[in-house]
Chain A
Amino acid sequence: MRLAFFGGIYNNYLALDFAIRDAKQRGVDAIYCLGDMGAFGPHPDRVFPLLHEHNVHCIQGNYDNSIGNELNDCQCGYTDPRDNYFAEISYAYTLQNTSPENRTFLKNLPTEIRFDFGEHRVLLCHGSPRRMNEFLWQSTCSTHFLETLADEHEADIILATHTGIKWHRKLSEGRHFVNVGVLGRPENDGTALVWYTLLEQASSADGPVLEFIPVEYDYRRLAAEMASENLPDEFIQTVHSGWWTTCLEVLPGKERAAGKF
């Protein structure tokens, strides 16, 4: 059994298309998306036909909850005025360009998915098992905190997204916490790559095998389409350079120091 997990798509239908084809070539049995279909990129409605055509199992992120319910804010949880300024631009664009049918689809998505993977109980959530828009960064989560989440939410493998940067922590008793990364934008590492996650049953007794998969999609085309849609130059710069230029103030010190801005 081999499964693929996508994090935030942020309107990046080009990366989504590439990732779906890549995952299928790797022989996955199912594909899951952990929410936040919109934000940041161009042409929101181009994401949904791909999700439907390839039977991607989706849960609701905070962006989806906001777009689906036509709220006036993305609920991303920014506190800095500059971060919020850019968040408002991409939210207004996405809300305006998401069809009523797709808003209804987002509104009706489940907020978590659970299933068994061999002997492991898997829990898919957007931010954290306890809050859709909670940021769980690698450098601000003690291991015993993650153990508590696994205990309290009765899961052996928790998969989440929301922060935009992938990471993985092994827990006790063969349990795992995984941030699957995002397809929507690069992860502040100076490359144009975006990432998804593969989970596979191992033949040995070592438990499931986890692998982060880089996605080399046509980022130049995405950037050109963003420019033609008049999206901010700051976003386009990130698509090219891989360095975040916005949403910086939510980053903890370690993750912030690893970036350029």
Chain B
Amino acid sequence: MTHAADTPGVSLHHLDQLWFQVAGTLCNLTCDHCFISCSPQNDSFGFLSLEQVRKRLQESVALGVKEYYFTGGEPFLNREMVEILEETLQYGPATVLTNGTVLKDEWLNRLRAAANASLFSLEFRVSVDGFSPETNDPIRGAGTFDRAMRGVVRLVDHGFLPIITAARTWADTEETAVVNQFVDTLKKAGYSRPRLKILPTLQLGAEENRTHGYREDERVTAEMLQDFDVDHLICSHSRIVTDRGVYVCPILIEADDARLGESLDDSLDDFKLAHGACFTCYQYGAICSNSSHQLTQPPERAS
């Protein structure tokens, strides 16, 4: 990929977050808005083995990685997922992004024990897209809302406090009503203190067909980065390991220029913000993280 002359680059300040595309692009669901078009048939990226993850965990120590994230696809389609999380919790905090539909008590019992034995948090982020079957299922598939809710309750029953993550597929003006309704739904389902994370949609993959792609002018320019704190761009503090090498971020694994190298050590170079998704990251901050990276632009003086 060639870049426009004024496309700014971002250097990796510190590798705080190491991601693993642990299920590749394989998923039991086929969501209409998936930014990398995951499905049961999409094997363009494959599973990572425990051995592959272990190698990068070991490599991550010298780089001072702060926390680990696991995504896919659906991570729990990976038969070694429980072992991978058990091992990761010996290194640091782990977050797994799941659709919540395939969780088994046997796995959660083991992960409860591993989380109890670790100094570090094990976070589950469960993705849904509406707060009822009527809103969720047209995007994620028939029956998926009820299945995800059962997964949430199962996690709560095992002592976890899952972060329910929803892409904002409603109008901004409806946000408060939509969120309040969802909190009620979660409480009725047995989750008494629900944690929520609302994400903007990314105009990529399946979402490009559902709505539209990025316009040509939706790009980050050098001028936009003046007086801007680049620490809230995910490429300033993250990389993602896949079975095809190390990429810059979880959103761009299908972009040719986003593959930076084979190992972590050779994936630490600057990255050019040439993509529409970089524009979303610029607008909203590193939305992929749990919440630790915030916009830190100095506020204005009080009037």
Contact = CB atoms under 8 A, between A and B. Distances in A.
Interface of A: 66, 69-73, 75, 77, 79, 95, 130-131, 133-135, 137-145, 147-149, 151, 248-250, 252-257, 261
Contacts of B65: 142, 144-145
B93 A71 contact: no
Interface of B: 14, 16, 60-67, 91-93, 115, 119-123, 159-161, 193, 195, 231, 290-292, 294, 296, 298-303
Residue of B64, B65, B67, B195 contacting most chain A CB atoms (<10 Å): B64
Give the top 3 A-B pairs by smallest Cβ distance, nearest first: A148-B64, A142-B92, A73-B299
Contacts of A135: 292
Contact of B195 (A66, A69, A256): A256
Given A135-B292, A148-B14, A253 B121 contact: yes
Nearest to B285: A79
B66 A140 contact: yes
Contact of A141 (B63, B66, B195, B299): B66
Given A148-B14, A252-B123, A140 B302 contact: no
Nearest to A145: B66
Contacts, number: 98
A146 to B, nearest CB: 8
A140 B93 contact: yes
Nearest to B160: A253
Contacts of A79: 291, 294
Given A133-B296, A253-B122, A254-B115, 7 more contacts: A66-B299, A72-B300, A79-B294, A145-B67, A148-B63, A151-B64, A248-B193
A256 to B, nearest CB: 6
Contacts of B61: 144
A163 B300 CA distance: 24
Contacts of A145: 16, 64-67, 92
A140 B193 contact: no
Contact of A253 (B161, B231, B294): B161
B93 A142 contact: yes
Nearest to B88: A142
Contact of A72 (B63, B121, B299): B299
Nearest to A169: B119
B270 to A, nearest CB: 19
Nearest to B229: A131
Given A135-B292, A145-B16, A252 B195 contact: no
A144 B294 CA distance: 22
Contact of B291 (A71, A134, A148, A250): A250
Nearest to B115: A254
Nearest to B122: A253
Contact of B298 (A71, A130, A137, A141): A71
A91 to B, nearest CB: 9
Given A77-B294, A139-B121, A142-B67, A257 B302 contact: no
Contacts of B160: 253, 257
A140 B299 contact: no
B303 A72 contact: yes
Contacts of B296: 75, 77, 131, 133
Contact of B91 (A66, A69, A142, A255): A142
Nearest to B61: A144
